[in-house]
Chain A
């Protein structure tokens, strides 16, 4: 397919030929464990073992690198259609590949909203044309994300995009009856409702976490209870109707407690945390630098500790980026006028290493679970988050945890640069990303042209 690309021009780092070229990866530590060789052929892993060789295969020296199943992001904003000044499916796919991702779930708050089979199929096709990752559309729960009438969830589920995750992300499905019906309805096709938990009344005009810092800065507060009360309601609803619920970007200690309680009760709930809520706190807002403006907002130290503990003990199932690109003018302004959101795809794995691995809270097996296996399972997506074993799709990431560098704009490969990590020291480096057998990142360089 070549919907978007001109023929290869020979510029940049280019890998020519088809995806059937054999690759021999030598000495990668599989999810951080023992070193092994892998052979990739025809888009799948054909052999895993010690001392493998294959005549004519391209050899990748992975000595000291950690092999992870290709990362899966359950929460990405790709902005296309409608907001192409911020990101497109192609540029967002490139950012994803640079971060070690091979699958991203695209949130539906585009223009038009992805609330019909037509829009989700278009997104799927644009993702295929880009060719860097699998772009899996998420469908809106309600028409136009307005929270009033259910969108045609069944049509999206039955479309070529096979939508299983539904979300009004950016907005909360606030009406309890609509939420109940959505939870019930998606059972028909094993779907899940991914809730953006935010009581709109309690957060009118909200600018940052409500607490000591907001009191001092004179910014309208976004109280933790506005998130926690919706999560509490939703887990009770999910229990009542026997449905699956996923909680997006959980950010407070109280939310972790509620999820822990619900799981103990047997409620079928999963939860995600963003990298930024694992690392950054509201103290950063003090300089009124809008790069730190995000929804839900950065919280207190205690909350960061609690979400880390929740991710470590399995209360929180996954890390998802909430990658939210914005053009410079949406951030280069007074705080109140600035847009919410941060880009996150390129930095996520490095932030998770710093917050969770280097602190001893997770090992690399756990990282594979929370950033690949579990998100694919929640999204009911076959062929993603699969183990590094023979016969499985060759979507994987080779990661070097040893370098420690300052994160810079050169690390960003999407269209927008609203990263909170610019100028901050982060460990690690994505050295190779393979998507269905083809490299999208080769020896730390993003492949300029991939040919799907």
Chain B
């Protein structure tokens, strides 16, 4: 794997490989000494043009547990805020000898531009670009769903027939896009639930069903329901009238939580707006996978970095390499 830019073009084989390597990584994380020597001598740069403490520390933990050197390059307080271009930043990192660049950027496609520009030879991992994709989030979500469903018997399995509802601001969500493509690739059956204003115009090419009514989606008995963070500034652009109305119609309240089938799970990429898109009852219920998602995020990112930086030499044999 040269880069990890999106899930749209990620093959089923590559997706399962990442998930299976993540299983290996997860196993190492229950040991007393969590650190592996695998990426010793490699330099991973976290290039964050947008604030995202959670994603950055997840990648940082992943890289450090693989013994890579980690450089955090935050746009805030750096030359980027003085108008330095993506090109100059990339070439600077190249000159410093970065082996992998983990990039978070507010502009859709920025990781793609970085990877294809010729400015840099490092592998590029998309850690969220604008409203385009967030592939490691979708991978950790898939990992979490698979783990909940199959437990220790997860390796090699896909999500065939799993019914997943994704609820909220689809229009602006890179998490939703990455999940749509990856879940489809893994065989899941995806329903998007949102106010019509927050569904992109023309999703006719997406392998999904669109429902405007959350109750209808809940009563259809999903195996997993993923609540997306709603950003309050959307209200000012007339996407929905008020916070209260959004919460009433598209929030996972205790009543809806109670109607979910036994064994179903509730996902949220975080950070949550408790009381808005998700009630405290739902967030703290046994169905909630929120903290598992955070833990699994480190394993999945370890797998991605491993396959990017070590995978060329020795693909598909992480466990051995890890020992």
Nearest B residue (CB) for A210:
B201
Is A216 positioned at the interface, with any CB of B under 8 Å from its CB? yes
Contact bitstring B171-208, A, C-beta under 8 A = 1, else 0: 00010010000000000000000000000111111100
A148 to chain B, nearest CB (A): 25
Flag the segment in A135-143, A166-174, A326-334, A353-361 that touches B.
Answer: A326-334
- A215 to B130, alpha carbons, bound, how many Å? 12
Is B133 positioned at the interface, with any CB of A under 8 Å from its CB? yes
State whether A332 touches B8 (Cβ < 8 A).
no
- A334 to B126, alpha carbons, bound, how many Å? 14
Contact bitstring A312-354, B, C-beta under 8 A = 1, else 0: 0000000000000000010011111100000000000000000
Flag the segment in B57-65, B102-110, B283-291, B314-322 that touches A.
Answer: B102-110
State whether B202 touches A336 (Cβ < 8 A).
no
State whether A212 touches B108 (Cβ < 8 A).
no
State whether B105 touches A218 (Cβ < 8 A).
no
Is A51 positioned at the interface, with any CB of B under 8 Å from its CB? no
Nearest A residue (CB) for B172:
A218
> Given A212-B202, A287-B112, A335-B109, are A218 and B177 also a contact pair (CB < 8 Å)?
yes
Within 8 A of B (CB), among A272-306: 287-288
Is B78 positioned at the interface, with any CB of A under 8 Å from its CB? no
Within 8 A of B (CB), among A204-261: 207, 210-212, 214-221, 223
State whether A335 touches B201 (Cβ < 8 A).
no
Contact bitstring B90-119, A, C-beta under 8 A = 1, else 0: 000000000000000111111011001100
B106 to chain A, nearest CB (A): 8
Contact bitstring A188-218, B, C-beta under 8 A = 1, else 0: 0000000000000000000100111011111
State whether A334 touches B107 (Cβ < 8 A).
yes
- A76 to B54, alpha carbons, bound, how many Å? 48
> Given A215-B200, A335-B108, are A288 and B177 also a contact pair (CB < 8 Å)?
no
Nearest A residue (CB) for B203:
A215
> Given A287-B116, A333-B87, are A215 and B205 also a contact pair (CB < 8 Å)?
yes
Is B75 positioned at the interface, with any CB of A under 8 Å from its CB? no
- Contact residue among A211, A215, A334 (Cβ-Cβ distance under 8 Å from B113): A334
State whether A218 touches B202 (Cβ < 8 A).
no
> Given A215-B206, A334-B86, are A288 and B201 also a contact pair (CB < 8 Å)?
no
- A215 to B208, alpha carbons, bound, how many Å? 13
State whether B174 touches A218 (Cβ < 8 A).
yes
Is B131 positioned at the interface, with any CB of A under 8 Å from its CB? yes
- A214 to B204, alpha carbons, bound, how many Å? 12
Within 8 A of B (CB), among A101-138: none
State whether A218 touches B205 (Cβ < 8 A).
no
- A15 to B74, alpha carbons, bound, how many Å? 58
State whether B112 touches A218 (Cβ < 8 A).
no
State whether A333 touches B205 (Cβ < 8 A).
no
- A207 to B202, alpha carbons, bound, how many Å? 16
* A287, A288, A335 — most chain B CB neighbours (10 Å): A288
State whether B201 touches A218 (Cβ < 8 A).
no
Chain A residues with CB under 8 Å of B206's CB are: 215-216
B6 to chain A, nearest CB (A): 10
State whether B109 touches A216 (Cβ < 8 A).
no
A217 to chain B, nearest CB (A): 6
- Contact residue among A223, A329, A337 (Cβ-Cβ distance under 8 Å from B201): A223
- A220 to B172, alpha carbons, bound, how many Å? 9
Chain A residues with CB under 8 Å of B85's CB are: 329, 332-333, 337
Chain B residues with CB under 8 Å of A211's CB are: 201-202
* A207, A218, A221, A288 — most chain B CB neighbours (10 Å): A218
Chain A residues with CB under 8 Å of B174's CB are: 218
State whether B107 touches A335 (Cβ < 8 A).
yes
Is B268 positioned at the interface, with any CB of A under 8 Å from its CB? no
State whether B105 touches A217 (Cβ < 8 A).
no
Task: Count A-B contacts at CB 8 Å.
Answer: 78
Chain A residues with CB under 8 Å of B131's CB are: 218-220
A202 to chain B, nearest CB (A): 11
- A273 to B109, alpha carbons, bound, how many Å? 29
Chain B residues with CB under 8 Å of A337's CB are: 85-86, 107
- A383 to B157, alpha carbons, bound, how many Å? 75
> Given A329-B85, A336-B130, are A217 and B204 also a contact pair (CB < 8 Å)?
no
State whether A215 touches B201 (Cβ < 8 A).
yes
State whether A288 touches B112 (Cβ < 8 A).
yes
Is B26 positioned at the interface, with any CB of A under 8 Å from its CB? no
Chain A residues with CB under 8 Å of B108's CB are: 207, 217-219, 288, 335-336
B113 to chain A, nearest CB (A): 5
- A333 to B109, alpha carbons, bound, how many Å? 10
Within 8 A of B (CB), among A391-413: none
State whether A212 touches B204 (Cβ < 8 A).
yes
Chain A residues with CB under 8 Å of B106's CB are: 336
- A218 to B105, alpha carbons, bound, how many Å? 13
* A216, A219, A223, A287 — most chain B CB neighbours (10 Å): A216
Within 8 A of A (CB), among B39-98: 85-87
Is B132 positioned at the interface, with any CB of A under 8 Å from its CB? yes
- A336 to B112, alpha carbons, bound, how many Å? 13
Chain A residues with CB under 8 Å of B130's CB are: 218-219, 336
Chain A residues with CB under 8 Å of B109's CB are: 217-219, 288, 334-336
B86 to chain A, nearest CB (A): 6
> Given A288-B112, A332-B87, are A217 and B203 also a contact pair (CB < 8 Å)?
no
B54 to chain A, nearest CB (A): 20
State whether B105 touches A334 (Cβ < 8 A).
yes
> Given A211-B202, A216-B8, A223-B201, are A336 and B107 also a contact pair (CB < 8 Å)?
yes
State whether B132 touches A214 (Cβ < 8 A).
no
- A287 to B86, alpha carbons, bound, how many Å? 17
Chain B residues with CB under 8 Å of A212's CB are: 202-205
State whether B113 touches A333 (Cβ < 8 A).
yes
- A288 to B109, alpha carbons, bound, how many Å? 6
Nearest A residue (CB) for B204:
A212
- A73 to B133, alpha carbons, bound, how many Å? 41
A372 to chain B, nearest CB (A): 39
Nearest B residue (CB) for A219:
B108
Q: A218-B174, A221-B200, A287-B112 are in contact. List 8 more A-B contacts (CB 8 A).
A: A212-B203, A218-B108, A218-B132, A219-B109, A221-B201, A333-B85, A334-B113, A336-B110
Cβ contacts A to B, 28 pairs, < 8 Å: A207-B108, A211-B201, A212-B205, A215-B200, A215-B201, A215-B203, A216-B8, A216-B177, A216-B206, A217-B108, A218-B129, A218-B132, A218-B133, A218-B174, A218-B177, A219-B109, A219-B130, A221-B200, A221-B201, A288-B109, A288-B112, A288-B113, A332-B117, A334-B109, A334-B113, A335-B110, A336-B108, A336-B130
Nearest 7 CB-CB pairings of A with B: A288-B109, A218-B132, A215-B200, A336-B107, A218-B131, A334-B110, A218-B108
Partner-B contacts on A (CB < 8 A): 207, 210-212, 214-221, 223, 287-288, 329, 332-337
